[in-house]
Structure 1
């Protein structure tokens, strides 16, 4: 077993949930060897062609990763592990929300536009490659330019993609969302919280509502606060100075001051630490994939490993 490969305990947790047959009814190549090959690439960021021979043909590893990114297999495995942790009472439902910009490598540009089917207005992978809906956005104007369908945009950091995530109180990603790098954080609070869905191991609906939400000033808006109150979610979000002045200027029409617990807000660092863990994987810290759904699969696999090893 190489450094970074799945341990026997980790493999035992995943083996029973993996697909049994190939695309045409044949048998898959050894799942464990292929997953270890994908992990090696996600951890080191090497080109697919440079994978060590012990993982088998690089084409097999690459195609398996691309297929499982498109059909939601990586997301299914992540949800399965989250469900087991929730059943054991090991999820802290004080959820923190934030985002991080990821620089796109020059090889991430150049995805086909003409003749390639795009996602629907609700977001998601291409129409011929189904996956978890709402994985990224395609319904907003590009604004500063860029390949919006593949979540690439121009920002101060250059050619970037932005990862929005919600993390539990133990620094583990609960939900992930991709947008172009120039998108703001505030409008993505609702979409990323709607991605939180932890299944039950027995009967019952998936859990989708955190106990508490923490976020920084980028998420302070009347719309976001109304959304959280409507769902019955308590929150700790500081108010920007200009909003405070505007409220005072309006007098009684400005509404009541927003509550803010400074001590509870200190717990928001959990999402920063979750981002730090994700970016420990080199293929997450720099985007090499042309397709957004493939990159989302890479980030999801990194999140899965964090859950398995925390």
Structure 2
């Protein structure tokens, strides 16, 4: 029995059948190798959810180098962005809203600036605020 034929344990980060059905069409036209796109996607979701290192992916996923290569190619090709846009569209439509937002609101209190950081800061060696005009 090949490693890819084994039934592995399910992880909380795995896609359900319904979730996979929503994004599976977005993988059309991609070449299929030894590992299924669903299994590779589940491995990437596990990696993202847990924050583990690539080499620390559980052994019942495809080899980490294969998963990393899949992730990288999907990122460079724009597949992840395409999936996210598709999911946003679906969730907006289910909420009774237009598929694409017509405007956005940015709260100025939420936008931080760092202009003053150049003028002031903490000088760790002197244990005083730099630019305060006092000397040690």
TM-score, normalization: structure 1? Answer: 0.30
1:10 aligns to 2:19 (yes or no): yes
Structural RMSD (CA): 2.4
1:81 aligns with 87
**Quick one: distance in 1 between partners of 2:62 and 2:94?**
37
1:209 aligns to 2:102 (yes or no): yes
**Displacement, 1:75?**
0.6
Q: Larger Cα Rg: Structure 1 or Structure 2?
A: 2
**Displacement, 1:87?**
2.9
Query: For 1:30-49, what aligned pairs fall within 5 Å after superposition?
Result: 30-49=36-55
Gaps of 5+ in 1: 92-197, 201-206, 221-310
TM-score, normalization: structure 2? Answer: 0.64
Query: For 1:37-186, what aligned pairs fall within 5 Å after superposition?
Result: 37-91=43-97
**Displacement, 1:15?**
1.0
**Quick one: distance in 1 between partners of 2:84 and 2:90?**
10
Higher RCO, 1 vs 2 (CA within 8 Å, ≥6 residues apart): 1
Size of the aligned set, in residue pairs, is 102
**Quick one: distance in 2 between partners of 1:78 and 1:58?**
23
Gaps of 5+ in 2: 1-9, 113-136
Q: Deviations over 1:251-270 (max 9, x none)?
A: xxxxxxxxxxxxxxxxxxxx
Structure 1 residues 83 and 57 mapped into 2: Cα distance closer, same or farther (>3 Å)? same
Q: Deviations over 1:222-246 (max 9, x none)?
A: xxxxxxxxxxxxxxxxxxxxxxxxx
Give 1 or 2: higher strand fraction. 1
**Displacement, 1:42?**
0.7
**Displacement, 1:88?**
3.0
1:291 aligns with none
